[in-house]
Chains A and B, each alone.
Chain A
Amino acid sequence: MASATIHDHANDHSHDHAHHGPGPWTRIFTTTNHKDIGSMYLWFSLLMFFVGGAMALLIRAELFTPGLQVVQPEVFNSLTTVHALVMIFGAVMPAFVGFANWLIPLQIGAADMAFPRMNNWSFWLMIPATVLLMASFFVPGGAAASGWTLYPPLSTQGGIGVDMTIIAIHILGASSIMGSINIITTILNMRAPGMTLMRMPMFVWTWLITAYLIIAVMPVLAGCITMLLTDRHFGTAFFNAAGGGDPTMFMHIFWFFGHPEVYILILPAFGIMSQIIPTFSRKPLFGYASMVYATASIAILSFIVWGHHMFTVGMPAAGQLFFMYATMLIAVPTGVKIFNWIATMWRGSITFETPMLFAIGFLCMFTLGGFSGLVLSIVPVDITLHNTYYVVAHFHYVLFPGAIWALMAGVYFWLPKWTGRMYNETLGKWHFWLSAISFNVTFFPQHFLGLAGMPRRIPDYALQFAEWNMISTIGAFALGFSQLLFVYNVFSCIRSGEKAKERQWDSADSLEWTHLPSPVPYHTFEMPPDLRGAKAVH
């Protein structure tokens, strides 16, 4: 075995026992170990996933039938607002950072992240931020209720809850920026000898690009909400026409952040897909280089399409046409990725373990989300569908089976490596099929609702929308409760799963599978593996 030296080192368990010093609580607060921090990120995001999910179910419960039954309209508005913020900033982003922490050092042969203490901070900053966000429900005036997009002047009307939300987003943004600096530095400086950029696993590549996106747009968001804050309290009028400002300017700045943000939520998912699909097809990823270029072009294009969220503000025809063409163009590299994944399966030898099921589910559903995106990119069609349930269906198709399923596929895929134990395959398959069916029952009808003209963010609706809403709510509850299977599976895997093999998936070929035992020891790659001359690993 080429990796003999590393094994010797990694199997030297003296390191594992060197952590008697701090007790478990002190360790949680002070750890600088990328694996600890990765796990903390993942647990945190799992918790937030259920918090956000509970809000979603309250929303769907209200929408079960016409009329007001469950919550007051302004509470409903707060729920939609905070549901989105929690899912984006509390669940999906931290979960991907958790994966980055766990996997990037292992996959490039580094001992840890470049700035371990900053890493600890990036995690812990999220706690006060989340507490602020959740506490805003209980202050006078309630939580922000303007939709996650926080458009003024509506967002200037709210109470102190809006300020708490702004501060929370600031802190979460700082946390992501710190995380991204760490990731970029680690990837650029700490690769093992021979791990050239074009040999890095796709997950590492997608995170490198994502981290640049985060650094580019989070400060824009920060500026945007700071102006909102000063408009609220210090008499500025950035977004107030009466003082010479312009509410539309807020939208431009917000979406200059917001559109790249949706790619921040999906690019690392592409990375996970690009590792799982080849593994279970037992073939290298098709078109590795073009996958890298496609990811990069999506990231670059994502900066020039923000106007597609604003076709109804009344921008000039030239603006509408520019943003329409640019948005349509994004479908090209997105298509390339999908074709490459299919070509990876082509002439493979495919098996359908749970991670692969979720990956195939991702492929199917994400493609559908891409189609509805394309429909929405057509300005005249978007004008009739903007702010309807069609948009809600679109972004849930790309985000739930996109980001969330990729995360779940990733957890099933790497759990054996992380814990040294196997999850329950039968339960995993149940989890997949229940999710797949209930997801579509929940969100497919929302296309119809949108086409028929049902606006989003309303607590009550006309009778013509009743049937689809009822079906959607039933699907949503099934979908929500199906996710408990996942939690159970993860817990029982950790506690009593069967022992996993070092290379649980026979053709997984990144370093964590080829060079390290399962579970991975607490310290790894203190001496980088020498990969010069070795066969490329993707």
Chain B
Amino acid sequence: MFVELLNGRIIKLIRFEIMKSINANGQQHALAALARSVSIGLMFLVSPATALAAYDVNIAAPASPISAQIYGLHMYILYVCAAIFVVVFALMFYSIFKFRRSNGSKPDVNFHESTLIEIIWTLIPFVILLFMAIPATKTVLDMKDTTNPDMTVKVTGYQWGWRYDYAAEEVGFYSSLSTPWSQIGQPGEKATEEKGKDYLLEVDNPMVVPVGKRVRLLVTSNDVIHGWYVPQLGVNQYGIPGFVKDVWFKADKVGTFKGQCSQICGKLHGYMPITVVVKTEADYAKWVAEAKARWGTAPVAAVAAVPAAVAAPEPGKPLTLVDLKTAGEKVYAANCVACHQASGKGMPPTFPALSGSKVVLGPTDGQINILLNGKPGTAMASFARLSDFEVAAVMTYTKNSWDNSTGKFVTPDDVKAKRKS
């Protein structure tokens, strides 16, 4: 008991130390790391159970009937494999030790064929596999049964974020990484901010569902293949552009469940997390009401990706360059900075510079066109999902930042006109 407690303490300490040094500068001295790893290794020897408790070594606690089945299946298969492992390795090491020449073993050259043994070791594994296949089949059928949903949400993958459209509730919104780049850093540029607890696993607008309801997801994509993966809910489903696939889950407890895009989808594949917040029915209803107020009419173009950051202008109030540019800076930080960089210099040749760019300095129409339609064949996706105001604002920002000083600005009406045509 005492030893365990002590170990738990030490592990926590080490963990804390590692976290601290990572947080401090995002970098590590190899030697210090080595020392830590060695001490961690020693810990395993002292008391494996407690030592491992501090580390993630298994599938996270299931939170839906399917993921509970998956968890059970995995443990079952793992135990069967462990049993086979013990038998096979025992035989192997027995023969290695017993029949070594230095032990005086003489080869029995006639022992090199036995049909009976061959049949036995073909049949036994076959039977073991049967016993694995039966429960697995049951779970497969349960997973595939998407009938009788209580509600349906369409999930669309974007480079690089998600959109959720609630069919019956008529609510739709975007959800993307909310960890600031100042926590992430850059090669050669240390992160300027400490990494938070939910580093890379936090989003601006989480998906919200009621507890205990069968939620049917219609998963698809707007550009490349993505993977909607929330392990604790037992869902991992590709979103494939042009096709809609359905899966379901039922969260059986209130809480927040996290996941990430599971299929490589380009530059920021590592930066498109998923958060599902499970609420009681009453809380869910409250959320729906709020969400409706905020993202009520679902059509894509009218929905702001970063509504919190960029409020639409008051109707009727004339827009100034400064207003637009200030708003545009926020839109830029949320949508463009990862590729085109805060300096506007981009990362040529894949991500061209906007500072001094011909497109940015040139006629308004050309740039609106690229923003609304993307540039096929490149990583430049369509940003049609931004509101007219946001497109106008971010364009104004790019036209009047860094080396660009056109003094020109773009109005939401310009964008609207172009969107129609």
Contacts and interface: CB of A to CB of B under 8 A. Distances in A.
A464 interface: yes
B184 A332 contact: no
B236 A349 contact: no
B246 interface: yes
Nearest to A368: B85
A91 B264 CA distance: 24
Interface stretch (B29-37, B207-215, B283-291, B382-390): B29-37
B56 A452 contact: yes
Nearest to B199: A463
Contact of B26 (A66, A74, A147, A464): A66
Interface stretch (B1-9, B94-102, B298-306, B410-418): B94-102
A451 B58 contact: yes
A146 B112 contact: no
Interface string B112-148: 1110011001100110010011001101110110000
A468 interface: yes
Contact of A453 (B26, B74, B231, B263): B231
A314 B245 contact: yes
B68 to A, nearest CB: 11
Interface string A323-344: 0110011011001101100111
Most chain B CB within 10 A, of A70, A154, A288, A338, is at A154
Contacts of A153: 223-225, 241
A95 B122 CA distance: 32
Given A283-B112, A461-B270, A312 B137 contact: no
Interface stretch (A211-219, A381-389, A496-504): A381-389
B93 to A, nearest CB: 9
Most chain B CB within 10 A, of A73, A351, A388, is at A73
A468 B55 contact: yes
B200 A371 contact: no
A462 B199 contact: yes
A223 interface: no
B195 A154 contact: no
B195 A335 contact: no
A22 interface: no
Interface stretch (B168-176, B254-262, B321-329, B356-364): B254-262
Given A314-B247, A380-B70, A387-B263, A286 B33 contact: no
Contact of A159 (B125, B261, B350): B350
Contacts of A248: 240, 243
Contact of A141 (B36, B37, B191, B349): B349
Given A73-B270, A336-B121, A384-B67, A328 B133 contact: yes
Given A329-B129, A378-B132, A384-B70, A77 B112 contact: no
A74 B270 CA distance: 10
B264 A457 contact: yes
Contact of B100 (A351, A375, A384, A474): A351
A332 B59 CA distance: 27
A336 B117 CA distance: 10
Contact of B107 (A332, A339, A348, A363): A348
B139 to A, nearest CB: 4
A494 interface: no
B28 A388 contact: no
Given A154-B225, A474-B34, A350 B101 contact: yes
Nearest to B375: A157
B105 interface: yes
B270 A383 contact: no
Interface string A151-164: 11110110100000
Interface in A290-340: 290, 312-314, 316-317, 320-321, 324-325, 328-329, 331-332, 335-336, 338-339
A347 interface: yes
Interface stretch (A239-247, A254-262, A395-403, A512-520): A239-247
Contacts of B242: 240-242, 246-247
A356 to B, nearest CB: 10
A23 interface: no
B133 to A, nearest CB: 6
Contacts of A312: 227, 236-238, 262-263
A533 interface: no
A345 interface: yes
Nearest to A538: B112
A451 B122 CA distance: 30
B262 A388 contact: yes
Contacts of A350: 95-96, 99-101, 105
Most chain B CB within 10 A, of A67, A281, A347, A467, is at A67
B269 interface: yes
Contacts of B251: none
B185 A68 contact: yes
Given A387-B263, A466-B22, A73 B268 contact: yes
B245 A348 contact: no
A462 B198 contact: yes
A340 B168 CA distance: 61
B88 A145 contact: no
B122 A336 contact: yes
B348 to A, nearest CB: 8
Contacts of A68: 184-187
B125 A451 contact: no
A284 interface: yes
Contact of A381 (B74, B126, B266): B74
A467 B111 contact: no
Most chain A CB within 10 A, of B36, B74, B187, is at B187
Given A314-B238, A342-B95, A466 B18 contact: yes
A508 B36 CA distance: 46
Nearest to A352: B100
B259 A453 contact: yes
A157 B34 CA distance: 40
A506 to B, nearest CB: 11
A289 B112 CA distance: 11
A115 interface: no
Interface in B7-35: 15, 18-19, 22, 26-28, 30, 33-34
A463 B195 contact: yes
29 contacts: A65-B22, A66-B22, A68-B187, A73-B269, A140-B349, A145-B266, A232-B377, A240-B242, A248-B240, A325-B133, A345-B92, A347-B99, A347-B107, A348-B95, A364-B89, A367-B85, A367-B89, A378-B73, A380-B66, A380-B143, A384-B74, A387-B229, A387-B262, A448-B57, A452-B59, A455-B261, A455-B270, A467-B18, A471-B40
Given A367-B89, A460-B200, 11 more contacts: A65-B28, A67-B195, A281-B107, A286-B111, A321-B137, A344-B112, A350-B105, A360-B96, A381-B74, A455-B260, A463-B195
